[in-house]
């Protein structure tokens, strides 16, 4: 059954906890969204790749991604740039961003983060970030995304399906 529940809403979270909605299309950050808003469902979720339009395809759609920008007019551009570089390349910062927010590294240097290969207890021990890896390669860049999805580039978080098991 399809639903028209607003994403990232108390009604959606309640439906997860009540076993009424059992699948969700999201990016890597869905990791912490489900974990933090449906804690009673631990062990009932798994991550699966998006269905493909062509056999063997690795295309991904996304609604955003992991990026950090220093805006023009910033009073402290050097400091902001230094922070942005630290945030996206420091192993400790990347580990915290992944653990707490489920963020997938925007910088390719972050793809070596050990946590990306570890099992995740909430997801029944599945190595969920390994499912996201193919969507984070330059070959997964998509230019013909369906409907209003924005297309992702060579780094960032690709979309997958989150399913109850």
122 Cβ contact partners less than 8 Å away, ≥ 6 residues apart: 31, 34, 35, 42, 43, 45
pLDDT over threshold 90, residue 26? no
Condensed to tens digits (0 to 9), the pLDDT of residues 58-84 reads 777 665 566 678 888 989 999 999 998
Q: How confident is the model at residue 138 (pLDDT cuts 50, 70, 90)?
A: low
**Nearest-10 Cα torsion for 28, 32, 37, 38:** 80
Identify the pLDDT of residue 23.
Answer: 87
Greatest Cα pair distance in the chain? 51
45-49 sheet: strands from edge to edge: 23-26, 160-164, 45-49
**152 or 42: which leads in pLDDT:** 42
């Amino acid at each position: 059954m399809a639903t028209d529940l607003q994403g990232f809403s108390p009604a959606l979270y309640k439906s997860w906890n009540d076993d009424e909605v059992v699948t969700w299309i999201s990016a890597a950050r869905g990791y912490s969204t489900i974990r933090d808003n449906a804690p009673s469902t631990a062990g009932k979720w798994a991550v699966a790749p998006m269905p493909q339009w062509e056999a063997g395809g690795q295309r991904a759609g996304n609604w955003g991604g992991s990026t950090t920008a220093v805006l023009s007019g910033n009073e402290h551009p050097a400091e902001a740039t230094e922070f942005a570089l630290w945030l996206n390349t420091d192993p400790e910062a990347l580990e915290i961003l992944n653990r707490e927010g489920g963020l997938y590294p925007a910088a390719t240097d972050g793809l070596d983060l050990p946590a990306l290969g570890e099992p995740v207890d909430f997801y029944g021990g599945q190595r969920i970030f390994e499912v996201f890896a193919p969507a984070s390669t330059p070959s997964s860049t998509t230019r013909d995304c369906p409907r209003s999805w924005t297309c992702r580039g060579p780094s960032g978080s690709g979309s997958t399906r989150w399913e109850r098991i």
